Amino acid sequence: MEHKSFLQVDKLDNGIFQLGINRPERKNALNTELVVHLADTIESLVNSEVARVIVIYGLEGNFAAGADIDEIATLSPKQALLDARVSAWRRIRQCPIPIIAAVEGYCLGGGMELLLSCDFAIAHKDAKFGLPEVKLGLMPGAGGTQILPRLIGKNRAARMIYSGEIMPASTMEKWGVITDLCDEEVLEAAVSIATKIARNAPFAISQAKQSLNNSVEMGLESAMSFERQTFSILASTTDKTEGIAAFKEKRHAKFTGN
Protein backbone atom coordinates (compact mmCIF):
# COMPACT_ATOMS: atom_id res chain seq x y z
CA MET A 1 0.00 0.00 0.00
CA GLU A 2 1.25 3.45 -0.95
CA HIS A 3 0.08 6.69 0.68
CA LYS A 4 0.49 10.01 -1.14
CA SER A 5 -1.27 12.92 0.53
CA PHE A 6 -4.96 12.63 -0.29
CA LEU A 7 -4.71 9.49 -2.41
CA GLN A 8 -4.28 5.86 -1.41
CA VAL A 9 -2.87 3.58 -4.12
CA ASP A 10 -3.21 -0.21 -3.94
CA LYS A 11 -1.86 -2.64 -6.53
CA LEU A 12 -3.90 -5.82 -6.95
CA ASP A 13 -3.34 -8.81 -9.20
CA ASN A 14 -3.67 -8.77 -13.00
CA GLY A 15 -2.73 -5.12 -13.45
CA ILE A 16 -5.64 -3.76 -11.40
CA PHE A 17 -5.02 -0.64 -9.31
CA GLN A 18 -7.31 0.88 -6.68
CA LEU A 19 -7.09 4.65 -6.16
CA GLY A 20 -8.77 5.72 -2.94
CA ILE A 21 -9.72 9.37 -2.37
CA ASN A 22 -8.63 10.09 1.19
CA ARG A 23 -9.99 13.33 2.67
CA PRO A 24 -12.61 11.87 4.99
CA GLU A 25 -12.69 14.94 7.24
CA ARG A 26 -14.06 16.88 4.20
CA LYS A 27 -16.20 14.00 2.88
CA ASN A 28 -13.51 13.56 0.22
CA ALA A 29 -14.07 16.99 -1.32
CA LEU A 30 -11.83 17.48 -4.35
CA ASN A 31 -9.29 20.27 -4.00
CA THR A 32 -6.76 21.20 -6.67
CA GLU A 33 -3.93 19.20 -5.13
CA LEU A 34 -6.03 16.06 -5.05
CA VAL A 35 -7.34 16.34 -8.62
CA VAL A 36 -3.87 17.07 -10.04
CA HIS A 37 -2.33 14.24 -8.03
CA LEU A 38 -5.06 11.88 -9.23
CA ALA A 39 -4.31 12.79 -12.86
CA ASP A 40 -0.54 12.46 -12.28
CA THR A 41 -1.01 9.05 -10.66
CA ILE A 42 -3.19 7.77 -13.49
CA GLU A 43 -0.64 8.94 -16.07
CA SER A 44 2.17 7.29 -14.13
CA LEU A 45 0.27 3.99 -13.98
CA VAL A 46 -0.44 4.12 -17.72
CA ASN A 47 3.20 4.91 -18.52
CA SER A 48 4.36 2.01 -16.38
CA GLU A 49 2.68 -0.34 -18.89
CA VAL A 50 1.65 -2.50 -15.94
CA ALA A 51 -1.83 -1.15 -15.22
CA ARG A 52 -4.75 -2.64 -17.14
CA VAL A 53 -7.72 -1.33 -15.15
CA ILE A 54 -8.10 1.44 -12.54
CA VAL A 55 -10.82 1.53 -9.89
CA ILE A 56 -11.48 4.89 -8.18
CA TYR A 57 -13.35 4.98 -4.87
CA GLY A 58 -13.66 7.08 -1.74
CA LEU A 59 -12.42 6.04 1.69
CA GLU A 60 -14.62 6.02 4.77
CA GLY A 61 -18.04 5.99 3.19
CA ASN A 62 -18.14 8.81 0.61
CA PHE A 63 -17.00 8.92 -3.00
CA ALA A 64 -16.54 12.71 -3.17
CA ALA A 65 -18.90 15.37 -1.84
CA GLY A 66 -17.97 18.01 -4.41
CA ALA A 67 -15.19 20.53 -4.87
CA ASP A 68 -13.42 22.20 -1.96
CA ILE A 69 -15.66 25.17 -1.07
CA ASP A 70 -12.81 27.07 0.59
CA GLU A 71 -10.87 27.01 -2.69
CA ILE A 72 -13.86 27.95 -4.81
CA ALA A 73 -14.72 30.88 -2.52
CA THR A 74 -11.46 32.68 -3.36
CA LEU A 75 -11.27 31.73 -7.05
CA SER A 76 -11.11 34.70 -9.43
CA PRO A 77 -12.40 34.56 -13.05
CA LYS A 78 -8.82 34.48 -14.36
CA GLN A 79 -7.85 31.73 -11.93
CA ALA A 80 -10.89 29.71 -12.98
CA LEU A 81 -9.73 29.76 -16.61
CA LEU A 82 -6.11 28.96 -15.77
CA ASP A 83 -6.86 26.49 -12.96
CA ALA A 84 -4.54 23.45 -12.94
CA ARG A 85 -7.63 21.30 -12.54
CA VAL A 86 -8.67 22.04 -16.15
CA SER A 87 -5.69 20.11 -17.52
CA ALA A 88 -6.01 17.46 -14.81
CA TRP A 89 -9.64 16.70 -15.67
CA ARG A 90 -8.69 16.41 -19.34
CA ARG A 91 -5.89 13.98 -18.56
CA ILE A 92 -8.24 11.81 -16.50
CA ARG A 93 -10.83 11.74 -19.31
CA GLN A 94 -8.15 10.86 -21.88
CA CYS A 95 -6.72 7.93 -19.93
CA PRO A 96 -6.36 5.09 -22.49
CA ILE A 97 -7.16 2.27 -20.06
CA PRO A 98 -10.54 1.59 -18.42
CA ILE A 99 -11.43 3.50 -15.24
CA ILE A 100 -14.30 2.29 -13.06
CA ALA A 101 -15.91 4.49 -10.39
CA ALA A 102 -17.04 2.60 -7.28
CA VAL A 103 -19.48 4.91 -5.48
CA GLU A 104 -20.67 4.93 -1.89
CA GLY A 105 -22.18 7.79 0.09
CA TYR A 106 -22.15 11.24 -1.48
CA CYS A 107 -21.17 11.78 -5.12
CA LEU A 108 -21.80 15.49 -5.65
CA GLY A 109 -20.50 18.34 -7.80
CA GLY A 110 -16.88 17.61 -8.69
CA GLY A 111 -17.37 14.07 -7.41
CA MET A 112 -20.16 13.58 -9.94
CA GLU A 113 -17.93 15.02 -12.65
CA LEU A 114 -15.16 12.61 -11.65
CA LEU A 115 -17.66 9.78 -12.08
CA LEU A 116 -18.56 11.16 -15.52
CA SER A 117 -14.86 11.17 -16.45
CA CYS A 118 -14.67 7.42 -15.81
CA ASP A 119 -15.71 4.76 -18.31
CA PHE A 120 -18.57 3.55 -16.16
CA ALA A 121 -19.67 3.47 -12.54
CA ILE A 122 -21.29 1.13 -10.08
CA ALA A 123 -22.81 2.27 -6.80
CA HIS A 124 -24.24 1.25 -3.46
CA LYS A 125 -28.03 1.38 -3.44
CA ASP A 126 -27.95 4.14 -0.79
CA ALA A 127 -25.49 6.42 -2.63
CA LYS A 128 -26.55 10.01 -3.35
CA PHE A 129 -25.82 11.95 -6.55
CA GLY A 130 -26.12 15.55 -7.60
CA LEU A 131 -24.75 18.67 -9.29
CA PRO A 132 -25.76 21.35 -6.77
CA GLU A 133 -23.45 24.15 -8.00
CA VAL A 134 -26.35 26.50 -8.84
CA LYS A 135 -27.15 26.66 -5.13
CA LEU A 136 -23.78 28.38 -4.71
CA GLY A 137 -24.28 30.79 -7.61
CA LEU A 138 -22.13 28.64 -9.89
CA MET A 139 -22.57 25.86 -12.45
CA PRO A 140 -20.76 22.59 -13.13
CA GLY A 141 -17.34 23.40 -14.54
CA ALA A 142 -15.58 20.07 -15.10
CA GLY A 143 -17.82 18.38 -17.62
CA GLY A 144 -21.21 18.31 -15.92
CA THR A 145 -22.99 20.37 -18.57
CA GLN A 146 -21.25 18.53 -21.43
CA ILE A 147 -20.74 14.88 -20.51
CA LEU A 148 -23.96 14.35 -18.53
CA PRO A 149 -26.37 15.30 -21.38
CA ARG A 150 -24.45 13.05 -23.73
CA LEU A 151 -25.08 10.23 -21.26
CA ILE A 152 -28.68 10.80 -20.15
CA GLY A 153 -30.06 13.39 -22.57
CA LYS A 154 -30.41 17.17 -22.32
CA ASN A 155 -33.79 17.16 -20.54
CA ARG A 156 -32.75 14.94 -17.66
CA ALA A 157 -29.41 16.72 -17.35
CA ALA A 158 -31.24 20.06 -17.27
CA ARG A 159 -33.55 18.88 -14.51
CA MET A 160 -30.62 17.66 -12.45
CA ILE A 161 -28.41 20.73 -12.98
CA TYR A 162 -31.08 23.46 -12.74
CA SER A 163 -32.66 22.04 -9.57
CA GLY A 164 -29.41 21.09 -7.84
CA GLU A 165 -31.44 18.21 -6.47
CA ILE A 166 -29.81 15.25 -4.72
CA MET A 167 -30.84 12.12 -6.60
CA PRO A 168 -30.99 8.50 -5.36
CA ALA A 169 -28.90 5.71 -6.84
CA SER A 170 -32.01 3.99 -8.18
CA THR A 171 -32.74 6.99 -10.42
CA MET A 172 -29.13 7.15 -11.58
CA GLU A 173 -29.30 3.48 -12.58
CA LYS A 174 -32.59 4.05 -14.40
CA TRP A 175 -31.13 7.03 -16.27
CA GLY A 176 -27.92 5.17 -17.16
CA VAL A 177 -25.43 7.12 -15.04
CA ILE A 178 -24.47 3.93 -13.22
CA THR A 179 -24.49 0.41 -14.62
CA ASP A 180 -24.89 -1.66 -11.45
CA LEU A 181 -26.44 -1.25 -7.98
CA CYS A 182 -24.92 -3.11 -5.04
CA ASP A 183 -26.41 -4.06 -1.67
CA GLU A 184 -23.06 -4.64 0.00
CA GLU A 185 -19.39 -4.22 -0.96
CA VAL A 186 -19.17 -1.82 -3.90
CA LEU A 187 -15.37 -1.87 -4.13
CA GLU A 188 -15.34 -5.66 -4.16
CA ALA A 189 -17.93 -5.68 -6.96
CA ALA A 190 -15.91 -3.15 -8.97
CA VAL A 191 -12.74 -5.23 -8.60
CA SER A 192 -14.68 -8.30 -9.77
CA ILE A 193 -15.66 -6.46 -12.96
CA ALA A 194 -12.10 -5.11 -13.33
CA THR A 195 -10.77 -8.68 -13.12
CA LYS A 196 -12.95 -9.73 -16.04
CA ILE A 197 -11.70 -6.76 -18.06
CA ALA A 198 -8.05 -7.38 -17.17
CA ARG A 199 -8.20 -10.90 -18.61
CA ASN A 200 -8.83 -9.50 -22.09
CA ALA A 201 -6.42 -8.07 -24.66
CA PRO A 202 -5.21 -4.69 -23.32
CA PHE A 203 -4.38 -3.07 -26.67
CA ALA A 204 -7.76 -4.11 -28.06
CA ILE A 205 -9.47 -2.58 -25.03
CA SER A 206 -7.58 0.71 -25.35
CA GLN A 207 -8.55 0.93 -29.02
CA ALA A 208 -12.16 0.04 -28.24
CA LYS A 209 -12.17 2.81 -25.60
CA GLN A 210 -10.96 5.39 -28.11
CA SER A 211 -13.55 4.22 -30.63
CA LEU A 212 -16.32 4.44 -28.01
CA ASN A 213 -15.24 7.97 -27.10
CA ASN A 214 -15.30 8.90 -30.77
CA SER A 215 -18.93 7.79 -30.95
CA VAL A 216 -19.92 10.90 -28.98
CA GLU A 217 -17.16 13.23 -30.17
CA MET A 218 -17.18 12.64 -33.95
CA GLY A 219 -19.73 12.49 -36.70
CA LEU A 220 -20.98 8.99 -37.51
CA GLU A 221 -19.05 8.43 -40.74
CA SER A 222 -15.75 9.68 -39.28
CA ALA A 223 -16.21 7.49 -36.20
CA MET A 224 -17.10 4.48 -38.35
CA SER A 225 -13.96 5.04 -40.43
CA PHE A 226 -11.82 5.16 -37.27
CA GLU A 227 -13.45 1.95 -36.02
CA ARG A 228 -12.69 0.11 -39.27
CA GLN A 229 -9.09 1.35 -39.39
CA THR A 230 -8.53 0.31 -35.78
CA PHE A 231 -10.12 -3.09 -36.38
CA SER A 232 -7.70 -3.64 -39.27
CA ILE A 233 -4.72 -2.77 -37.04
CA LEU A 234 -5.86 -5.25 -34.39
CA ALA A 235 -6.16 -7.96 -37.05
CA SER A 236 -2.34 -8.03 -37.31
CA THR A 237 -1.48 -8.17 -33.59
CA THR A 238 0.10 -10.98 -31.61
CA ASP A 239 -2.81 -10.80 -29.18
CA LYS A 240 -5.28 -11.52 -31.98
CA THR A 241 -3.28 -14.62 -32.97
CA GLU A 242 -3.15 -15.72 -29.33
CA GLY A 243 -6.84 -15.06 -28.77
CA ILE A 244 -7.91 -17.14 -31.77
CA ALA A 245 -5.52 -19.97 -30.83
CA ALA A 246 -6.75 -20.01 -27.21
CA PHE A 247 -10.36 -20.13 -28.38
CA LYS A 248 -9.66 -23.10 -30.68
CA GLU A 249 -7.64 -24.88 -28.00
CA LYS A 250 -10.28 -24.19 -25.32
CA ARG A 251 -7.84 -22.48 -22.94
CA HIS A 252 -7.44 -19.04 -21.39
CA ALA A 253 -5.56 -16.63 -23.63
CA LYS A 254 -2.33 -15.06 -22.40
CA PHE A 255 -2.42 -11.52 -23.77
CA THR A 256 0.66 -9.29 -23.77
CA GLY A 257 -0.66 -6.09 -25.33
CA ASN A 258 1.19 -6.65 -28.60
Residues designated as active site: 67, 110, 113, 133
With b for 16 or more beta-carbon neighbours within 10 A and e for fewer, the 129-142 pattern comes to bbbbbeeeeeebbb
DSSP letters spanning 160-227: HHHH---EEHHHHHHHTS-SEEESS-HHHHHHHHHHHHHTS-HHHHHHHHHHHHHHHHS-HHHHHHHH
Longest CA–CA span in the chain (Å) reads 63
